[in-house]
Structure 1
């Protein structure tokens, strides 16, 4: 059980929120691929409802209260068991060329060598954590989304002791500029914490590190690499499969909950209209001027 909120968001930026007490039901990749709806545990008396994430698009989840789809997306993954050759063959020619070009550019900036360092054991993670935290503090994931690498230096140690953590740092002239921390869920490895120092954004360090990490995972014990919830161009480009999902709010049928969902739904609809308008040539210039104002 955790306190949560209905957020009014534009991209990663939260403009406002309505506090709600929601029980979060997060489906794993295996559950999403299986296509079956989850069993909902009983609500406590002061709970407002559930937030179900990665619910398969075709799965029905009967609910007598207020049901609201917050977002639709594809949950992407890489089939590591198929092997690196199959993965590369499944990428578009543009994706392969882009990854090679960005990797070469960053290696050249580092004197001709790509410096990616791997960490997995608890003792190795003790060295990884302060370096990755320094990078995480600079990222939009931490500043805007509160989803940076946790500050606790013991984060993930128990999982690492069971061979359930893979982490990487990308260095430029011995300075860490990007990190990736992944936790295991059975034979699936999750894309949990990621970020790069925006001062080096022109070198695409996040994409380069992700590509290098995936190369190192073929032959590891994991069968899938899970890009988790939400979409992104880099996920689409590097994935070998995906499952259509939705995030679903299920709230008690109170007047407050109905009004809250109506407000958030109206905001989301207005954003979709604005996005379509911004793609219209006659209005694109106006939209750009508004953003600069």
Structure 2
């Protein structure tokens, strides 16, 4: 683990207003590490390094981690719930744990898609290198249409190197991927590489022409059904950040922060003051918009 120039964007919705850069040692806690009781051990900083960027730090650890490094200044970039789902449950128990409204919506959407597909949902699971190649070709066509790729630059990776990495994981039985088909072509994909016995929510996308059918949600619940029947993995990690989809399908969560620990130089303190001022302004604006009922309108304009 070594330092590199890391972008610290000032973002409003999906739009980046400005990007600051610092030479930081990145450290992303895995779900297993976040669930453990031990604080992460950080490598010593090199002379020209500015500090560390540690993501998915359980909020309960923050004070202890800061106390281990009193020579550094701490700054919280964001706070969120890291959602995950247990896969050692019987699917019926998992299903019963979803909200009544969520179950009703998923049943209705699944039934509608099944009727369109001739009576059953057309879902394929891909795990071998050959299957992953077929998945990648079909999923890339969906990704090109998805808002994840067009607006968030978060589509399924393309190119021979990305495909080679996926196939390498498949050769070790360290990936699961799914496609949802309609009228003979894929309309949604879900790609989940493995970290030990944890599957990571890496890429989900769908054709916006079928958005009213909630194809991403239908595909997610069927993937969960298959994973619980397979009993190969322990957790499905929805990773950093929060959102309605993650809240709907998770069984548990960890209150987390992204933590900057930086040397108290003038340039570092200047950068963190800008970050803090911008994040504080956004938080205040969101509270004001929520009180006035305008937050949903602004969010739609930012997409």
Is the structural similarity TM-score above 0.5?
Answer: yes
Partner of 1:181: 191
Partner of 2:175: 165
Secondary structure of residue in 2 paired with 1:58: helix
Partner of 1:17: 19
Q: Structure 1: give runs of 5+ residues left out of the alignment.
A: none
CA distance in 1, matches of 2:290, 2:174: 44
- The answer to whether structure 1 residue 46 and structure 2 residue 56 are counterparts is no
Preserved CA contact (<8 Å) 1:135 1:176:
yes
CA distance in 2, matches of 1:135, 1:88: 28
Partner of 2:28: 26
- Pair 1:114–1:61, CA change in 2 (3 A): same
Secondary structure of residue in 2 paired with 1:24: strand
CA displacement 1:92-141 (0-9 Å, x = unmatched) = 21121121122223333434432111100011111111111222223333
CA distance in 2, matches of 1:33, 1:80: 15
Q: RMSD of aligned C-alpha atoms?
A: 2.3
- Pair 1:105–1:188, CA change in 2 (3 A): same
CA distance in 1, matches of 2:184, 2:299: 41
Partner of 2:241: 230
Q: CA deviation at 1:15?
A: 2.0
- The answer to whether structure 1 residue 249 and structure 2 residue 253 are counterparts is no
Preserved CA contact (<8 Å) 1:84 1:218:
yes
Preserved CA contact (<8 Å) 2:286 2:295:
no
Q: Structure 2: give runs of 5+ residues left out of the alignment.
A: none
CA distance in 1, matches of 2:146, 2:299: 26
Counterpart of 1:214 (choices 202, 224, 227) is: 224
What is the TM-score normalised by the length of structure 2?
0.89
Partner of 2:10: 8
- 1:30-179 correspondence to structure 2 within 5 Å: 30-59=32-61, 60-62=64-66, 63=69, 64-151=71-158, 152-179=162-189
CA displacement 1:249-292 (0-9 Å, x = unmatched) = 112212111111111111111111111111223x6399759959
What is the TM-score normalised by the length of structure 1?
0.92
Q: How many positions carry a matched residue from both structures?
A: 291
CA distance in 1, matches of 2:258, 2:298: 30
Q: CA deviation at 1:174?
A: 1.5
CA distance in 2, matches of 1:167, 1:121: 10
Secondary structure of residue in 2 paired with 1:279: helix
CA distance in 1, matches of 2:301, 2:202: 31
- The answer to whether structure 1 residue 203 and structure 2 residue 213 are counterparts is yes
Preserved CA contact (<8 Å) 2:198 2:236:
yes
Counterpart of 1:280 (choices 291, 294, 297) is: 291
CA distance in 2, matches of 1:286, 1:145: 18
Preserved CA contact (<8 Å) 1:4 1:21:
yes
